[in-house]
Amino acid sequence: MAEVDFKQANENYAASFGDNGKLSIPPSKHLAVVTCMDARLNPEQFLGLNLGEAHVIRNAGGLAKESLRSIIISQRLLGTRDVIVIHHSDCGMLTFSDEQLRSKIINAHPGDSDVSEAVNDLQFGPFPDLDKSVKDDVAFLKNHPLVLKEGKITGWVYEVETGKIRQVA
Ligand SMILES: [Zn+2]
């Protein structure tokens, strides 16, 4: 595996940090973004967001359900209102089923009942249809009693092939 020189990279970063240490905690654009952890996505760059402007909440797939805890904290304690959900083309979540991943993990630990019990309790949340997964997640947030209704909740697909986003909900 390739070594990454985090320390050197960070020294370069900190050398031009400027006034960023004075930013306040609440995001200045009152925006929360929910998106995938995919290494090809740089949401701050493709949405034109600077430090201090938005919460970017990431997980495998950019699933709203898994982001709920963070969205509630973001809205209730840190003043965000609009939420945008962004899933993307060629996502790993389109490539497997819960059952396949469970079997893979169980097969890697033969006879380990702790592993099989733990993995059978987990839902990994893969989705077969990209646009539908975005629409479902937006509907989930719009219908959730703990998500504030005064902001806009929209859904988008990011194309890893072009860097473009398109609105689907
Ligand atoms: Zn993804």
Pairwise CA distance, residues 129 & 37, whole Å: 18
88 C-alpha to center of ligand 1: Å? 6
Q: Which CATH architecture has domain 27-95+126-167?
A: 3-Layer(aba) Sandwich (3.40)
90 C-alpha to center of ligand 1: Å? 7
Pairwise CA distance, residues 33 & 25, whole Å: 16
Average pLDDT, the chain: 96
Question: What DSSP state is assigned to residue 151?
Answer: S
Say yes or no to pLDDT of 8 above 70. yes
Where do the domains of the chain lie? 27-95+126-167
Instruction: Convert the pLDDT of each residue in 59-77 to its tens digit.
Output: 999 999 999 999 999 999 9
Q: What percent of the chain has pLDDT over 70?
A: 99
The least confident of 1-10, 57-66, 100-109, 135-144 is 1-10
Q: Confirm if 86 and 43 have CB atoms less than 8 A apart.
A: yes
